[in-house]
Every structure is written in C-alpha cells, then in structure tokens.
Amino acid sequence: MMKVSITAILISFAILFTLGKSDEAIFDIYSTDEYANDEINTVSGQYSQLSNDSLLWGPYRSSLYFGIRPRIPRSLLSGLMWFNVDSYDAIGNLRHVYEQGDNMKKANWVSYDPRTGGRLVVSDQDCHIDVIIDFVKSEDGKSWGTKIKGVPHKGYEKVKTSFVWYSGLEGETERIDDYGNKVSERNGYLNLENKKNVLGYADNVKLSGISEELGLFELEIGKGPKSNKHPTDATLLDPELDTSKSHHYSLTVPDDHVWKARDIFMTMLMESVKELTNKYGNIQEFPPEQAFIIRDLQNFEGNLHFVQNVFEGKCEFDVIYNNAVTPEEDKITFDNINTKAKKAIKAFDKKFSQSFDLKAPFNKDKTHEKFAKEMLSGLLGGLSYFYGDHLVDRNTVFDEDSFESYQLQGSFEGPHELFTLVPSRPFFPRGFYWDEGFHLLPLLKFDSDLALEVVQSWFNLIDDDGWIAREQILGPESRSKVPEQFQVQSPEIVNPPTLMLIFSELLESIQNSNTYGDINEPQQVSDYGDGKTFDKKDLGSIIIKNPEVMTDYAKRIYPKLKTHFEWFRRTQQGYIEEFDRGTNKEGYRWRGRTLTHCLASGLDDYPRVIPADIAELNVDLLSWVGVMTKSMKSIAGFLNYENDFQKYQKIENDIVENLDNLHWSDSEKTYCDLSVDDNDENKHICHKGYISLFPFLTKLTPADDVDKIEQIVDLISDPEELWSDYGIRSLSKSNEFYGTEENYWRSPIWIHMNSLILESLQHYSKTSSPYMSKGLKQKISETYKNLRTNVVNNIIKQWKRTGFVWEQYDDQTGKAKGAKNFLGWTSTVLIIMNMDETI
Ligand SMILES: *[C@@H]1O[C@H](CO)[C@@H](O)[C@H](O)[C@H]1NC(C)=O
C-alpha cells in the first residue's frame, strides 16, 4: 500500500492540470470517419480500415483481470477491481492486476474472439465468488459493453463484495505559455453527467467524454437489475456511506498514471478512513462494507473516475461505452447486451469448429473441446496493446573473451507501440520475441489476418540497423513488472527469430492449398456494392485469400526483414577460417552468454561449451539462421525478387551443408555445438537434449539422410535419454547436468518444443518415406502416436487438477510448474490436438 503523501502529490497534479469544462478545444469529432487518404481506395486500404475498426477496442490491458483500452497510444483506459467486505482485512485481497500468487481456482477467458468479444471467468477463492464477465463490441467496432456477474460460492450465499470500475482519459499536449512556462493541456475531457452528490447515486452513473481520436462518447456504469441486493443489516453510520448507492470519485492524473488506479484508489480510501476516524472515533465501529466506500472528499472532477457498488450475494451490473458515431441500431444498451453476449459466444463456437478439427482420441469427450476452447480463448485474452518508451543500452560492447554478465546502463528510447500476445498474463505480461512465433501458430488457424497484424506490429519495431529488442518492456506499467536488472535491452543480444517461422509456415500453407490459383490474376472474394470488396465477416483470412493484399503486405515488411536478417547474421557470425573449418562461412555463435546462461538462445541454462570460448559455434543458432533464410527465400520468391531468391537459396544450401560438416558428431550420433580443445583442435561438445534436435526440428536435415533421422528418432524415443511418459524432456537423463541447479532447461518438458518434435516426425515420415526402411517408418509412427497422447493427456490432467496450464511439466511426475496460465507456448497443445492421430 502506498503512503499518504502520494495524495498530496496527486492533488497538486490535479491543480496543475485542471482545465475545467471550457470550450477551448474544438475537435472535428468525425475525424475518425474521415479517411480521405488514397489508401482507402485500394483493396489493401479497405482491408486495413475494416480490420482496424474490428480490433480497435479490447481487453488489451491483459496484465489486469479485466482492463479495456483501444489501440490508441494515449486514450481511454478502464479497469475493474473487486474486494470482499465481510471483514476489514479482506481488502488486502483487492483484485486488479492478475497475480501469479492469487488464490484462484480459474482465471481465464473461456470463449473469446478479439473481433467480437466473449466470456471471462474468474473463480476467486478468497473473495468466495465467481466473477463472470461478458465483453461485446458493436458491429462497427467503435462501441462496447460488458456484463459483470458475481456468483457466490456454495456456503457463501450472502457474501458482500465491493466492485469498483474506473475509467481514465489520457492524452495531453505540452506547450509554452505566455510567461515561458511549460504547461500541459489535456487533449480531451471525461466528465460526470449526473448531478454531483456526495451521498451517492441511486441511478446509473454516467460519464461523457470527447477526445481527438475517439470523438464524442458516453460511458454508463449501471446499477444492475432490481434483483441485486445491497448489504442492509448494519445501521448507516454516516449518510455518505450508503451501500445501496453508487459512489463516484474523480481526480486528475497526468499521462502514464492511470495504470496506478489501484494505488490511487487505496490512497483515497485510506484518506477517507482517516477522516472518518477523526470524526467518529474508532473505525472498528463501522461495518467494513461502509468503511471501505470511497467518498468524494475533494469535490473535484478530473480525467480519472472511480465508480463503486457494494452488493450482497449474487449480483450483476453492466458498463456500456457508446461512441457517437456508432449508428443508433448498432449501439449497445442495457437491454440488448445479454443477447449480444450470447451471440458472441455462439459466433466463437462456430468459428472455433471451422478452424480446428480435434483428432482422436481428443474428439470424443466434451471436456476436450472445452479445454481446447479455453486454450484458444485464453491465448487470445493475452492480446495486448502496449505503448511507451523502453530502456536500451547501445554503448556497452561485450568483450569477446569475457563471459561475465554485464550490468547494462539503459537510456530511454521510443515511445513505441506493440500489438502482441503475451506468454502468461500473470507472470510475463509483455512481448517476447522468442515466444511470439509460437503464440501465432494456433492463431494462424483461427484468424490469419490477426496473426499478420501482430507480425507487422513486431516488425515495425525493427530499427535502422536491423535490431529488435528481444523483450518489449514498453512504458512504466510494463516496467513495474520487471526487476530493474532485466529492464535494459542490448542490441548485442538476439533471440530465436520465431516470427520468421510463422511467415514461412503461412506462405507454405498458401502454396500448398493453392488458394490463389494463378497468382497473376487477382481474384476478388465478393463484391458488396459501393466499391466494397470485403465485409466484416470476411475478416480472418482476407490477406491470404487476396493476392493484392498479400503482396502489399509482403512488400511493406520485406525491407525491414531484410535488414533484420542481415543484422542478425552479421552480429552473430562465428569464427570459421580462423579455426580451420573450411571456407563455407555459415556458422554462428550466440553473443552475450555467461558461464552458466545463454539467454540469447532462449534456452537459458541449457548446458553449453565449458570452458566458454570464442571458438564456439552453436547448432541451434545455425538452424535458426536457416529458418530465417528459408523465410526470406519464400517471401522473395513470392514477390518475384529473383536475385534475392537465388542469394537466399545459396545461403540455405551452405547452412544445410555446415549443419552436417560442423555440427554432426559421428561418434555421439547426434548434432552438437562445436568448440576447440586446448590445442585449438575442433571438438564437438554434446549435451543431448533439445539442442541436439534443432536441425531436425527446423526441417533442415535432408530428407534422404535417413541414418541421421533414425538416430534422432532413437534419441527421442529412448527413456534413458529424452523420452518420458509426459513428453520429451529438455535434457537427456544421461547428461551430467540433468536436473541440476535452476533446472529450467535441464529436464522439464516444454510444450512448444514437443509440438515441433511432433511436426517434424510428421514431416519426415512423409518426405523421407521413399528412403526409409519399414522398421524406421514403424518406429516414427509409434513414437509420434504415443508422444502426442502422452503430452495432451498430461496437460489436461494437470489443468483439471490446478485450473490452469503451466510453463513446464516435470519429466518424472508430469506435475505442472513455473509460470501459471502460461498460454503462450503451452497453447500449442491445440496444434497437437489438431494433428492426425496416426501418421
Ligand atoms: C490501421 O492501423 C495501423 C496500426 O495502427 C496503421 O498503421 C494503419 O495506417 C491503419 N490503417 C488505416 C486504414 O487507418
């Protein structure tokens, strides 16, 4: 909890930034509809507008249980908080930020499509209530509504719960006033429409606002149906504490402070409690549901508004945001929100079954379907919009020979924006370059347009050198979740380029499915009249179905990708000729490793070459460069950039050759890192585990090299090495570092890696088929079938036991561990369930 002095600061901010309800700023409120740019006349522009509208609003503040914002840098931020008021200390469990340690039986979207809405369920075991939240959007995407229901747990039918909704409008401009002072002016307003009443409001609380980007809008926080009960058993000790009323409090906060709503609320509440104590003596006389009502002590109005309601038992209320431009018949109302919410869930179900086809044995039981829907919804519930500056150290140059960790000194760069999924809302609520490619795999099946929006948002962050920060910690809210020593990003450090994986996957699927027919003859999906080519219902696969749009997209990102590709290879180049390794230069070394960790590789504590040496070449890194090269080749091919295509083809061939020449060990029968011994002679360093599989996982092992494939399959399927009953473990049981120290990548099972293993087994069972023996074929299909069921069954078992999916699974017991609600990589389970039962 924050100290009271914050109040003083906030109030002085309030005075500093007050503007009142003047008419100073006159906006063209219809500017959002005025797309006079040339773009809109093209098919791409039409797509872009349609897509932007449908993705404008969402629960994009995904680090909260429920927080709504638009994809606009400084705008209207809203959020929900709740706490139990049966006792004084229950307020310690006030819910706002989704925390790993919160005592939740479940906290996840169970049905959700970012374009339309869905349902979130939070089963709160400390507040003894299920909070069920439906979120819906208007057809034009510009308005939204949410229905919040409280369902008490058995035995707690009279539970008292306090709900707080807040909305804050950010956006200010700095200017120099007549006296030469720098002053900040608000770019918009958010005002209370009700007549101010310190005693509370018997009716809905209504706010109205205006901002440059949103235009005119209204926000109404309902009191809910007559069936709602408010605590009435205690005598009302002060007229300002009536629990049957809605209570409102407002203040002014500068930009980048609305996210502190919880602390601000708590501070104000403590102020109120202090004042009550002064007035009435011991606060213990007050029932908690009264004591913890926020009071309007300053009688002030600013850009941040809190609205509080206190209920007893089962309850519900709605919050509705309507933009003035949304047509009347499309607006969300207290009367139609229920129907719209049901419709959204139905639409999700339909789209889900069109996108996924769960295969045996995961298609028999309703639980499997429920689980699969929750995986997708939960993953998409992590779709977030970030805006802000970040810390970068461009000065520290890593010394080649020192493998110490560096204390980086960051300076601010940006602000940047990023539209991304997150690995885990409670634990890693920010963008991770190495994770994102895997996040997009399930999304690609559900809504490839959305996946490509995310890809584009990421690639927009590539700087002129070609660098992109591996962890995107944008703005103070994101920074508040990261320990200081991990906040600074360095251009010396890369991460596995998984987003490139997506791109080649996508182009491959387009080529395979022949979606385009003849690429030179653009086809149009339909013609909706008025020159409109697309309708909202086409969203989800417009880009891949329309060569014109796809070409524009590819052309836009290609130059960025090219600089990124070149930067990546340049900065991670390893020594080849210096150590007599031939003339083929394709060999790479992860920069920035320490003696124990190679964070750049993404497999942090996986054992590497010891003693560390600049002669080291990493097999996983060469494989990743191979993935990048293949992607660049596909895009260049797609765009008919013949010269580039040839260049990439040559690099790819060199990579395939060197994976064999430099990294395959005949004696160990596996792929290994390469280093040198004391006499500078080349030497393989082999720690069998995920690293050994990389050329196979990235499909760079030649299909006719069946001896290698057989040896890889043997390694995977041997219980003394990588096989466990719950999935493929990260490091071989026979390795000296197995299960030691932090044990992060030294035995646990990671689901995205298992998903890649299954895909590669599937791939080679086809492509190597002409070259393999019957025995090998048999071995591959058995391994595949058993691995697939082992992995899925265990994740579901642990999900039933804990209510969540997790970061990793123990290879001995199958037990879930690490970060909770880890829908990032673990949601690739959906891909696995969607794969064929047998190959
Ligand atoms: C859609 O949004 C993106 C990202 O904010 C932006 O770059 C693009 O110009 C927008 N398109 C249109 C047609 O407004």
String of DSSP letters for 529-569: STT----GGGTTSHHHH-HHHHHHHHHHHHHHHHHHHHHHH
By annotation, the residues acting in catalysis are: 604, 807
Beta-bridge partners for 752? none
CB burial of residue 822 (10 Å; 0-12, 13-18, 19+): buried
Give the residue among 68, 490, 513 at the shortest CA–CA distance from 261. 68
Q: How far is the CA of 542 from the centre of ligand 1 (A)?
A: 16
CA distance 632 to 624: 12
Q: Would the CB of 44 count as within 6 Å of ligand 1?
A: no
Token duo for residue 555:
């052309």
Q: Is the CB of 39 under 6 A from ligand 1?
A: yes
Average the pLDDT over 467-488 and give the result.
Answer: 94
CB of 608 closer than 8 Å to CB of 673 = yes
Model confidence at 832, pLDDT cuts 50, 70, 90, reads very high
CB of 41 closer than 6 A to ligand 1? no
- pLDDT tops 50 at residue 11: no
The proportion of the chain whose per-residue pLDDT surpasses 90, expressed as a percent, equals 83
Q: Which atom of ligand 1 is nearest to the CA of 37?
A: 13
Half-sphere exposure of 200 (CA within 13 A, CB side): 20
Q: What is the value of pTM for the model shown?
A: 0.93
Residues 6 or more apart in contact with residue 650 via CB below 8 angstroms? none
Q: Name the token pair of 606.
A: 């996986």
β-strand partners of 13:
none
How far away, in angstroms, is 536 Cα from ligand 1 center? 16
Q: Which of 300, 423, 301, 483 is nearest to 751 (CA)?
A: 423
Ramachandran category for residue 161: left, alpha or beta (phi over 0 → left; psi -120 to 50 → alpha): beta
Which pLDDT value is given to residue 513? 62
Question: Has residue 810 got a pLDDT over 70?
Answer: yes
Residue 306: pLDDT above 80? yes
Place of tokens 């090219």: 562
Quick one: which of 51, 14, 27, 17 has its CA closest to 217?
A: 27
Distances (CA, A) of 806 to 373, 442, 560, 681: 16, 17, 34, 43
pLDDT at 281: 82
pLDDT tens, residue by residue, 136-162: 999 999 999 999 999 999 999 999 999
Nearest to 450, CA basis, from 461, 463, 430, 436 = 436
Residue of the CA atom closest to atom 13 of ligand 1: 49
- Cα separations in angstroms, 182 against 16, 170, 175, 256: 11, 18, 6, 18
Mean pLDDT score, 694-723: 98
Strands (E), 339-402: 384-392
What amino acid is encoded at 464 in this protein?
D
CA distance 450 to 457: 11
Write the pLDDT tens digit of every residue in 83-102: 999 999 999 999 999 999 99
Q: Is 244 exposed, middle or buried (0-12, 13-18, 19+ CB in 10 A)?
A: middle
Q: Tell me the mean pLDDT in the region 444-448.
A: 95
- Cβ contact 759:779 at 8 Å: no
- If you measure from the C-alpha of residue 36 to the centroid of ligand 1, how many angstroms do you get, rounded to a whole number? 13
What atom of ligand 1 comes closest to residue 49's alpha carbon? 13
pLDDT tens-digit series, residues 451-477? 999 999 999 999 999 999 999 999 999
Distance 416 CA to ligand 1 centre (A): 15
Can you give the pLDDT at residue 526?
Answer: 58
- Residue 652 pLDDT class (50, 70, 90 cuts): very high
Which pLDDT score is estimated for 13?
Answer: 36
Query: Which residue has its alpha carbon closest to ligand 1 atom 12?
Result: 49
CA distance 322 to 146: 12
Contact at 8 Å (CB) between 61 and 67?
yes
Ligand 1: residue of 52, 53, 417, 420 to mutate (most ligand atoms within 8 A of CB) is 52
Amino acid at 661: N
3-state helix, strand, coil in the chain (%, to 5): 40, 20, 40
pLDDT of 122 above 90:
yes
Instruction: Quote the tokens at residue 499.
Output: 């987003």
Pocket test for ligand 1, best of 44, 48, 456, 543 (most atoms within 8 A of CB): 48
Domain annotation for the chain: domains and CATH numbers:
59-355 (2.70.98.110)
Strand 682-685 relative to strand 806-809: parallel, antiparallel, unpaired? unpaired
Find the angle CA(420)-CA(426)-CA(432) to the nearest 5 degrees. 35
Average pLDDT, the chain: 91
For residue range 36-75, list pLDDT tens digits in order: 343 445 889 999 999 999 999 999 999 999 999 999 999 9
State the residue for tokens 């765009």: 639
CA-wise closest residue to 147 among 173, 112, 167, 120: 120
pLDDT at position 40:
43
Rounded-to-integer distance, Cα 224 and Cα 337, Å:
12
User: Does residue 661's CB lie within 6 angstroms of at least one atom of ligand 1?
Assistant: no
Structure tokens at 101: 């340690």
- pLDDT value, residue 342: 98
- Closest approach atom of ligand 1 to CA 51: 1
Ligand 1 mean position to 186 CA, how many Å? 24
pLDDT digits (tens, 9 = 90+) for 750-802: 999 999 999 999 999 999 999 999 999 999 999 999 999 999 999 999 999 99
For ligand 1, atom 14, which residue shows the shortest CA distance? 49
Does the Cβ of 45 fall within 6 Å of ligand 1? yes
Model confidence pLDDT, tens digit, residues 162-216: 999 999 999 999 888 889 998 888 899 999 999 999 999 999 999 999 999 999 9
CA gap 94, 258 in Å, rounded: 17
The whole-number pLDDT of residue 506 equals 82
Say if ligand 1 is within 6 A of residue 798 CB: no
**Higher confidence at residue 8 or residue 306?**
306
Q: Are the CB atoms for 431 and 458 separated by under 8 Å?
A: yes
How many Å apart are CA 715 and CA 738, to the nearest integer? 15
pLDDT of residue 527: 64
